[in-house]
């Protein structure tokens, strides 16, 4: 049967758009279908964490985002705590968060995907989906009526109520919401003393276009279902109860309610159907981890799915998307449940006093450098590492590689690791002068166009690569293989084995 596209992406949120861009970068025909006719004007998420900025940097995109946002040195672990996490101490070229509306993030990612050739069709709703041995078929309703789209794979980036997840028969276990909070973006607000609501646990952010965002939980209304609309009067009352003033909020541009329902898909893949972003995991938006986790799902999946479509994936490569990212989903949902409890307990009368004591203790702990750095590494996702299947693998295997400055041996040009990942291929980096062990890639072993082989000298932050002879970096910036072997024959054998573990040998 004729295929209309190689990969169908359902949903044009940040996750779906980055995935489309990654697939298109690899030369995969990609179609994104989005039921909304226009991009979402209201921005639930306002933050890009350090690891998200790094993966954008790996494609040469970070500057586009940085030019439109504002960097901040850290982020709050949970609303009642007053000690922020300090990202500035982290080993990254982007040791900060970026305040940027989700609407702008989506616009930039859509621009990138279209530049690379992905098709994005808005106002198209996927109504049903089924798979067979040869591909996936989707029933689609759009401006021109109903049609069927055929693809080799489909990825659900279509949110918590994902049709793709239901079509795949993947369970979505977890917990129902037990409390809700309110968010509002206001054209008018009293800016004379914004520290006052902040001292009482109200989150306040200055947005673009003169808007101010408030996030507040009202003990009298915290059991209200998230589906119930928020009124301006209710919001003002909640602010009064929380901090003794309604902060002069008026002319709301957006009012909404959100809860702490937490769910994780049992699987991220069922045959030719895959899940990413909110279709795979939902949780209370504490710590601004949802959008960022989805972007990192897309970065992990994009190159693997492209490899599968194009026939160069080693056996089992696509399955590592579930094994690597599902584990991250477990960690994020478990962590946000704990963070959400810190938000909820101070609002409950019988727990208010002990909760305050707990928060005081945690604030003291966050004042300790090691504790702060540990939690900052988790929240920023810079500490995300994918355990290697081989227990004898080098300690760096599976970890992200920082943007280490390099001098190329061929021409003395200065560059960096992230700059060498812009084209989305794997990077074989030779760091030692080993006679008779050139990092060239014999065509009999692998397909050379899929790997960039470079000999270079690291400088600046050399500790991450200290002692290494060679390192193979995945397209998503994680280490696939590293060695300190200097014997030419052993090095050649190790390298060939490592490459063939990721790339199907050429026929």
Give per-residue pLDDT as tens, 221-276.
999 999 999 999 999 999 999 999 999 999 999 999 999 999 999 999 999 999 99
Average pLDDT of the segment spanning 83-111: 95
Residue bearing the bigger pLDDT, 76 or 306? 306
Residue linked to tokens 């993030």 = 105
**DSSP secondary structure, 412-431, as one string:** --EEETGGGGTT--EEEEE-
Residues spanned by the domain of 68: 5-175+262-380
* pLDDT tens digits for range 409-432: 889 999 999 999 999 999 999 987
Residue bearing the bigger pLDDT, 179 or 42? 179
pLDDT at 344: 94
Q: Is residue 10 predicted with pLDDT exceeding 90?
A: yes
CATH classification of the domain holding 143: 3.50.50.60
Please count the structural domains in the chain.
Answer: 3
| Domain assignment of residue 15, yes or no | yes
Distance CA 376, CA 249 (A): 33
Average pLDDT of the segment spanning 100-110: 95
Do residue 425 and residue 488 come from a single domain? yes
Taking Cα atoms as reference points, which of 295, 296, 267 lies closest to residue 280?
Answer: 267
The pTM score is 0.95
Q: Is residue 507 predicted with pLDDT exceeding 50?
A: no
Average pLDDT of the segment spanning 128-137: 96
3-state helix, strand, coil in the chain (%, to 5): 35, 25, 40
200, 347 in Cβ contact below 8 A? no
pLDDT interval class at 443 (50, 70, 90) = very low
Do residue 170 and residue 30 come from a single domain? yes
153, 305 in Cβ contact below 8 A? yes
Do residue 88 and residue 164 come from a single domain? yes
pLDDT at 442: 47
Query: How many residues does this entry show for the chain?
Result: 507
Distance CA 17, CA 23 (A): 10
Based on the number of CB atoms within 10 Å of its own CB, is 111 exposed (0-12), middle (13-18) or buried (19 or more)? Answer: middle
* pLDDT tens digits for range 358-374: 999 999 999 999 999 99
Element (H, E) at 71: strand 70-72
pLDDT interval class at 126 (50, 70, 90) = very high
Do residue 118 and residue 242 come from a single domain? no
Biggest CA–CA distance in the chain, Å, is 76
Percentage of residues in the chain having pLDDT higher than 70: 95
Helices (H), 187-289: 195-199, 232-243
Question: Does residue 293 sit in helix, strand or coil?
Answer: helix
Taking Cα atoms as reference points, which of 250, 243, 181 lies closest to residue 212?
Answer: 250
The gap from C-alpha 87 to its chain's centroid, in whole angstroms, comes to 17
Q: Which of 256-260, 427-431, 439-443, 455-459 is least confident?
A: 439-443
pLDDT interval class at 460 (50, 70, 90) = low
Of the ranges 64-68, 387-391, 503-507, the best mean pLDDT one: 64-68
Average pLDDT of every residue of the chain = 92
* pLDDT tens digits for range 200-211: 888 898 888 899
Do residue 284 and residue 349 come from a single domain? yes
pLDDT interval class at 6 (50, 70, 90) = very high
Q: Is residue 57 predicted with pLDDT exceeding 50?
A: yes
| Domain assignment of residue 399, yes or no | no
Do residue 48 and residue 139 come from a single domain? yes
Do residue 113 and residue 42 come from a single domain? yes
Distance CA 414, CA 407 (A): 5
Q: For 356, which DSSP code?
A: H
Distance CA 343, CA 179 (A): 10
Q: Which two tokens stand for residue 180?
A: 């809700």
pLDDT interval class at 403 (50, 70, 90) = very high
pLDDT interval class at 438 (50, 70, 90) = low
Average pLDDT of the segment spanning 19-26: 98
Do residue 332 and residue 283 come from a single domain? yes
Do residue 274 and residue 147 come from a single domain? yes
Do residue 355 and residue 444 come from a single domain? no
Q: How far is CA 432 from CA 27, 129, 401, 439, in A?
A: 33, 52, 18, 10
Distance CA 135, CA 155 (A): 12
For 304-348, give the secondary structure using H, E and C. Answer: HHHHHHHCCECCCCCCHHHHHHHHHHHHHHHHHHHHHHHHHHHHC
């Amino acid at each position: 049967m004729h295929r209309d596209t190689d990969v169908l992406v359902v949903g044009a949120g940040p996750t779906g758009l980055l995935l489309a861009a990654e697939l298109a970068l690899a030369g995969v025909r990609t179609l994104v279908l989005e039921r909304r006719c226009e991009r979402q004007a209201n921005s639930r998420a306002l933050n890009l964490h350090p690891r998200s900025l790094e993966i954008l940097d790996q494609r040469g995109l970070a500057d586009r985002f940085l030019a439109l946002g504002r960097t901040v040195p850290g982020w709050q672990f949970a609303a009642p705590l007053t000690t922020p996490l300090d990202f500035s101490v982290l080993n990254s070229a982007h040791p900060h968060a970026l305040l940027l509306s989700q609407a702008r993030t989506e616009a930039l990612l859509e621009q990138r995907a279209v530049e690379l050739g992905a098709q994005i069709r808005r106002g198209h709703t996927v109504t049903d989906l089924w798979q067979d041995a040869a591909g996936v078929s989707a029933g689609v309703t759009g401006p021109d009526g109903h049609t069927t789209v055929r693809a080799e794979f489909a990825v659900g980036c279509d949110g918590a109520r994902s049709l793709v997840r239901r079509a795949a028969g993947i369970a979505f276990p977890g917990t129902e919401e037990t409390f809700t909070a309110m968010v509002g973006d206001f054209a008018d607000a009293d800016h004379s003393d914004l520290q006052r609501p902040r001292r009482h646990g109200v989150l306040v952010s200055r947005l673009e276009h003169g808007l101010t965002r408030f996030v507040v939980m009202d003990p009298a209304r915290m059991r209200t279902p998230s589906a119930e609309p928020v009124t301006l009067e209710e919001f003002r009352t909640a602010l009064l109860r929380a901090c003794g003033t309604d902060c002069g909020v008026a002319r709301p541009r957006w009012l909404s309610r959100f809860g702490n329902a937490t769910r994780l898909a049992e699987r991220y893949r069922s045959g030719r159907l895959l899940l990413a972003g909110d279709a795979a995991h939902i949780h209370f938006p504490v710590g601004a981890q949802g959008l960022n986790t989805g972007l990192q799902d897309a970065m992990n999946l994009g190159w693997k799915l492209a490899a599968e479509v194009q026939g160069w994936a080693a056996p089992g490569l696509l399955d590592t998307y579930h094994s690597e990212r599902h584990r991250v989903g477990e960690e994020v949902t478990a962590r946000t449940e704990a963070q959400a409890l810190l938000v909820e307990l101070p609002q409950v009368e019988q727990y208010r006093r002990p909760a305050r004591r707990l928060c005081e203790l945690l604030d003291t702990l966050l004042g300790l450098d090691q504790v702060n750095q540990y939690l900052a590494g988790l929240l920023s996702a810079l500490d995300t590492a994918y355990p290697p299947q081989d227990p004898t693998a080098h300690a760096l295997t599976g970890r992200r590689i920082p943007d280490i400055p390099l001098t190329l041996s061929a021409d003395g040009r200065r560059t960096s690791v992230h700059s060498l990942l812009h084209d989305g291929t794997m990077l074989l980096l030779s760091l030692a002068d080993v006679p008779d062990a050139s990092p060239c890639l014999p065509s009999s072993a692998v397909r050379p166009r899929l790997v960039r082989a470079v000999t270079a000298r690291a400088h600046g932050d050399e500790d991450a690569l200290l002692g290494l002879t060679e390192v193979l970096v995945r397209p998503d910036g994680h280490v696939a293989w590293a060695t300190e072997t200097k014997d030419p024959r052993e090095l050649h054998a190790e390298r060939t084995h490592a490459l063939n573990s990721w790339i199907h040998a050429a026929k």
